[in-house]
Chains A and B, each alone.
Chain A
Amino acid sequence: NAGVTQTPKFQVLKTGQSMTLQCAQDMNHEYMSWYRQDPGMGLRLIHYSVGAGITDQGEVPNGYNVSRSTTEDFPLRLLSAAPSQTSVYFCASFGGEGGYTFGSGTRLTVV
């Protein structure tokens, strides 16, 4: 089915480790974004991209990097994980009148 695919679904990291959360969409959407979800705080925008080769910071970008080499993929990198990055991460793409499509999320725990 068309949509947004996130991997992995679950991950446990030790403080200081690095990892990449993968996000891929097959709807040819130009706009993609990463959110983190924390209890009582809704979803907060980390980074977003308006097209291949173009990225920008959102509300809470510190500790995260992104790149957009293709329209389909928008990986999120944690360079040195911290316990404060324990959260559920959602990738989303925007398709105009079709609205946003969200992935099923990655639950990350940093110990």
Chain B
Amino acid sequence: GNSVTQMEGPVTLSEEAFLTINCTYTATGYPSLFWYVQYPGEGLQLLLKATKADDKGSNKGFEATYRKETTSFHLEKGSVQVSDSAVYFCALRQAAGNKLTFGGGTRVLVKP
């Protein structure tokens, strides 16, 4: 079946540091890949997505590239802010159907 593996947290950074959260997946065919963000006390919000190999999703300074050869979708941001403190989830959606499969989530804490 489908699965998503992402690095465990928490990840603690200083403001303006570089952030990378690794995500790898197992799936048949060509799934769509997503990063969701969950701020404290809130639901999940779509951060970015990519629907085919070599696509790059980007939003709010975050980027992730769909790498079919390494089955990865790593999230990066060049300069984090305190407001980026949240839990980040990597997820995939199989081409057929609408179910999302999530990774375990990575908590990121950015200190001033």
Using CB atoms and an 8 Å cutoff, list the residues of chain A in contact with chain B: 4, 31, 33, 35, 40-45, 48, 50, 58, 90, 92, 94, 99-100, 102-105
**A contact residues around B43 at 8 Å (CB):** 4, 90, 102-105
Q: A99-B46, A104-B42 are in contact. Are A40 and B8 (CB under 8 A)?
A: yes
A-side binding surface: helix, strand, loop or mixed?
Answer: strand
CA distance A33 to B43 in the complex (A): 14
- Contact between A94 and B98, CB atoms less than 8 A apart: yes
What are 29 A-B pairs at a CB distance below 8 A? A31-B98, A33-B98, A33-B99, A33-B100, A40-B104, A41-B104, A42-B4, A42-B89, A42-B102, A42-B103, A42-B104, A42-B105, A43-B44, A43-B89, A43-B102, A45-B99, A45-B100, A45-B101, A48-B99, A50-B98, A90-B44, A92-B44, A94-B98, A102-B36, A102-B44, A102-B45, A104-B41, A105-B42, A105-B43
Contact with A along B2-19 (1 / 0, CB 8 A): 001000100000000000
**B contact residues around A35 at 8 Å (CB):** 102
